[in-house]
Amino acid sequence: MSDQTAIESVLTEERVFPPPPEFAANAHIKSFEEYEKLYAEAADDPAGFWAKQAEALHWFKKWDTVLKWKEPFAEWFVGGKLNISYNCLDRHLTTSRKNKAAIIWEGETGEIKTITYLQLHQEVSRFANVLKSLGVKTGDRVALYMPLVPALAVAMLACARIGATHTVIFGGFSADAIRDRVNDCQCKVIVTADGGYRRGSEIRLKDVVDEAVEHCPDVTDVVVYQRTGSQIKMRPGRDHWWHELTKTVDADCPAEELDSEHPLYILYTSGTTGKPKGILHTTGGYLTQTVYTSKVIFDLKDEDIYWCTADIGWVTGHSYVVYGPLANGATVFMYEGAPNHPAPDRFWDIIERHKITIFYTAPTAIRAFIKWGEQHPLKHDLTSLRLLGTVGEPINPEAWMWYHQIIGKGNCPIVDTWWQTETGSAMISPLPGATPTVPGTATRPLPGIVVDVVTKSGKPVGPGEGGYLVIKHPWPSMLRTLWGDDERYKQAYWSEIPGMYFAGDGARRDKHGYFWIMGRVDDVINVSGHRLGTAEIESALVSHEAVAEAAVVGRPDELKGQAIAAFVTLEGGRTGNDELKDALRTHVAHEIGALAKPDDIRFTDALPKTRSGKIMRRLLRELASGGHVAGDVTTLEDLSVLEKLREDEE
Ligand code: WTA
């Protein structure tokens, strides 16, 4: 890499990057002093601060109380009535945004579609009427299992319009994963597509839904959006084509006036047990914080072409592809496919052709770009870019510097945004016109957000010391509970550290008050920015007839951040070989999805356990990382197990 020396020399400098003065001059928040003032005001009166931000939305009826807090249950803007689809669409129609592009979409196969706010409003209204015609009512659940096409955003906004709660299931999940999610929240309708394109191949989504729906007793109808045109099975009475149903309904569908706490969506995410958690987000608070953070973090302006590369199946796609940007009246760019199809310069080619101004992606993608080589971005004119962002995992300073120099040409601020499915919107992030950035840190919490790094007993740690990342005051877009399981909600987030929300991440705060996120401290692994519970993968492995017991841990991986390492003991008489490894990988892909396939599988006679029978994951993590096992092993039930694993390692 020819620029390597330049990067290294910068690395040895004091790596603080103040916002470029021209950027700051035009930004929504223009200086660090302004940020600090806002932060202090909000800290004095968080409810007052958020009420001010909520004024940016359209309310059918104003709230009576900003916040009702009965730890750990929050209600925001109580008594208020609004509709998110109205906020994302209708209110722009009386402004100059009416004929502005809301969505510009590019398929992997090259076609481009532009949808104005007026057109999007019409499509959403029609599809809302389709849902109604299938008997979907306010409060019902609808599952969406689709490729990255504008129709997915249409379906989400249509649900929001009539008050149906959507659950988007990432297109990489298997039939079993769909079944579990759909049944957990009793969806009535599934919206899917015949397929989508990824790296030149068709992903046949409807086939997967067909397999799942056999075991989903509550599902009465399946709506199929035609994306690829390939042959699929349609069961009469149950399955309907999107384009046929939309022809039969009215184009007018008034937005329901919904309570501020009306459930907007459930998004399943991995936790520390085998069963995914249904994170519940509601309406008024969620939209308030996504709108505010989209505006101040991405510094959204009417002229921007904003591209967040996340799949809509993850929370980033919900908050920062669909709801936040559209409610701000932004032009959102969407791309269906893979970053290296047909060639590794696809993203840079897109940025050049569409004149993207704001680009938000994951560190794992940046590490892949680095590996593919800087010749790909260097071939393209990227001068339209003015702001870059990252999300999903800690960004290593080397990747940050490459992003800054090769993509941003040293001119674009980088916003490293820390947040979670549970937080709903960004919590810790630089403000691009205000916060001096340092590679590798998400910097400071946003105004209205109170975070800290503490010990297990909740005592703040000193500067530079590691501890648990916690949130100390309720925030508007926080999860309200886990769907149907208040007890698990309390247990998972509010029991570890008394009186605080525990995020599951380790962190330290430096002497400038900047937060450095150190990664998960629970049994969750972050593979390419996607959360996977070790217990989930373990139970998938154990469900294979050859497997007696399994332990799954993360190990560092240069590209993916973390890779999945599985230690497996077999049923009596079975021997481990490469064929069985392949079979186990395929089995996990079938149970959960290809994203959960273990990278390494190691067969062992027994797993190291404490006397109380707990698997000693720390030891396995060290083994999986190729390191030596250090520290206290006196609680090991059978030291010879460790010896055996070590021998196998050598
Ligand atoms: C990690 C994604 C470091 C973290 C929005 C968190 C990050 C988990 C960052 C949530 C960041 C997210 N720096 N780590 N900027 N952003 N994480 O629910 O471990 O898919 O707990 O939400 O990703 O992942 P989730």
Q: Assign residue 419 a region (left: φ > 0; alpha: ψ between -120 and 50; beta: otherwise).
A: beta
Please give the radius of gyration of the chain, using alpha carbons only, rounded to the nearest integer: 24
Which of 407, 435, 463 is the C-terminal boundary of a domain? 435
Q: What is the mean pLDDT of residues 67-86?
A: 98
Query: Rounded to the nearest 5°, which phi and psi values hold at 225?
Result: -85, 135
Q: Does the beta carbon of 329 sit less than 6 angstroms from any atom of ligand 1?
A: no
| pLDDT band at residue 417 under the 50/70/90 scheme | very high
Predicted pLDDT at 646: 61
Asked whether 356 and 350 are in contact (CB, 8 A), the reply is yes
State whether 259 and 384 are in the same domain: yes
pLDDT tens-digit map of 240-274? 999 999 999 999 999 999 999 999 999 999 877 77
Tokens of residue 83, six digits: 């509709």
Q: Whole-model pTM?
A: 0.92
Among 293, 297, 517, which is best to mutate for testing ligand 1, by the most ligand atoms less than 8 A from CB? 517
Q: Does the beta carbon of 554 sit less than 6 angstroms from any atom of ligand 1?
A: no
Residue 3 has pLDDT above 50, yes or no: no
Report how far ligand 1's centroid is from the alpha carbon of 513 (Å): 19
State whether 316 and 430 are in the same domain: yes
Which residue is closest in CA terms to ligand 1's atom 3?
Answer: 394
| pLDDT band at residue 644 under the 50/70/90 scheme | low
State whether 541 and 431 are in the same domain: no
Query: Does residue 331 sit within a domain?
Result: yes
Strand 221-225 relative to strand 239-241: parallel, antiparallel, unpaired? Answer: parallel
Predicted pLDDT at 607: 86
Q: Three-state SS string across 218-259, please? A: CCCEEEEECCCCCCCCCCCCCEEEHHHHHHCCCCCCCCCCEE
| pLDDT band at residue 609 under the 50/70/90 scheme | confident
State whether 235 and 95 are in the same domain: yes
| pLDDT band at residue 155 under the 50/70/90 scheme | very high
Q: Higher pLDDT residue, 466 or 256?
A: 256
- How many structural domains compose the chain? 2
Please provide the average confidence, as pLDDT, over all residues in the chain: 93
State whether 430 and 532 are in the same domain: no
Among 268, 323, 526, which is best to mutate for testing ligand 1, by the most ligand atoms less than 8 A from CB? 526
State whether 204 and 324 are in the same domain: yes
pLDDT tens-digit map of 372-406? 999 999 999 999 999 999 999 989 898 999 999 99
Query: Does residue 371 sit within a domain?
Result: yes
Among 323, 419, 496, which is best to mutate for testing ligand 1, by the most ligand atoms less than 8 A from CB? 419
Query: Does residue 193 sit within a domain?
Result: yes
Residue 572 has pLDDT above 90, yes or no: no
Predicted pLDDT at 629: 57
Query: Does residue 334 sit within a domain?
Result: yes
Which of 380, 414, 435 is the C-terminal boundary of a domain? 435
State whether 423 and 537 are in the same domain: no
State whether 93 and 229 are in the same domain: yes
Q: Does the beta carbon of 467 sit less than 6 angstroms from any atom of ligand 1?
A: no
Query: Does residue 234 sit within a domain?
Result: yes
645's CB contacts (< 8 A; 6+ apart) are 567, 602, 604, 608, 619, 620, 623
Q: Which atom of ligand 1 is nearest to the CA of 314?
A: 20
Q: What is the largest CA-CA distance in the chain?
A: 74
Q: Does the beta carbon of 418 sit less than 6 angstroms from any atom of ligand 1?
A: yes
State whether 166 and 300 are in the same domain: yes
Among 418, 479, 528, which is best to mutate for testing ligand 1, by the most ligand atoms less than 8 A from CB? 418
Q: Which atom of ligand 1 is nearest to the CA of 421?
A: 18
Q: How far apart are CA 289 and CA 306, in angstroms?
A: 18
Query: Does residue 620 sit within a domain?
Result: yes
Predicted pLDDT at 179: 97
Q: Does the beta carbon of 316 sit less than 6 angstroms from any atom of ligand 1?
A: yes
Q: Does the beta carbon of 394 sit less than 6 angstroms from any atom of ligand 1?
A: yes
Domain that holds residue 165: 57-265+276-435
Give the other-Cβ count within 10 Å of 315's Cβ.
25
Predicted pLDDT at 416: 98
Beta strands, E only, 151-205: 165-168, 187-193, 196-198, 201-203
Which residue is closest in CA terms to ligand 1's atom 11?
Answer: 418
Which residue is closest in CA terms to ligand 1's atom 12?
Answer: 392
Q: Which helix (H) or strand (E) holds 612?
A: none
Predicted pLDDT at 146: 98
State whether 420 and 536 are in the same domain: no
Which of 435, 457, 473 is the C-terminal boundary of a domain? 435
Query: Does residue 232 sit within a domain?
Result: yes
Residue 506 has pLDDT above 70, yes or no: yes
Instruction: Work out the burial of residue 57: count CB atoms within 10 Å of its CB; fewer than 13 is exposed, 13-18 middle, 19 or more buried.
Output: buried
List residues bridging with 73 in a β-sheet. Answer: 70
List residues bridging with 167 in a β-sheet. Answer: 143
Q: Which atom of ligand 1 is nearest to the CA of 519?
A: 19
Predicted pLDDT at 13: 32
Query: Rounded to the nearest 5°, which phi and psi values hold at 601?
Result: -125, 125
State whether 406 and 551 are in the same domain: no
| pLDDT band at residue 216 under the 50/70/90 scheme | very high
Q: Higher pLDDT residue, 626 or 173?
A: 173
Predicted pLDDT at 630: 55
Q: What is the mean pLDDT of residues 192-210?
A: 97
State the residue for tokens 């729906």: 213
pLDDT tens-digit map of 4-13? 333 333 333 3
Alpha helices in 338-378 (DSSP H): 346-354, 363-372, 375-378
Predicted pLDDT at 76: 98
Predicted pLDDT at 628: 57
Query: Does residue 478 sit within a domain?
Result: no
**CATH code of residue 605:** 3.30.300.30
**CATH code of residue 247:** 3.40.50.12780
Predicted pLDDT at 648: 56
Q: What is the mean pLDDT of residues 441-451?
A: 97
Q: What is the mean pLDDT of residues 80-99?
A: 98
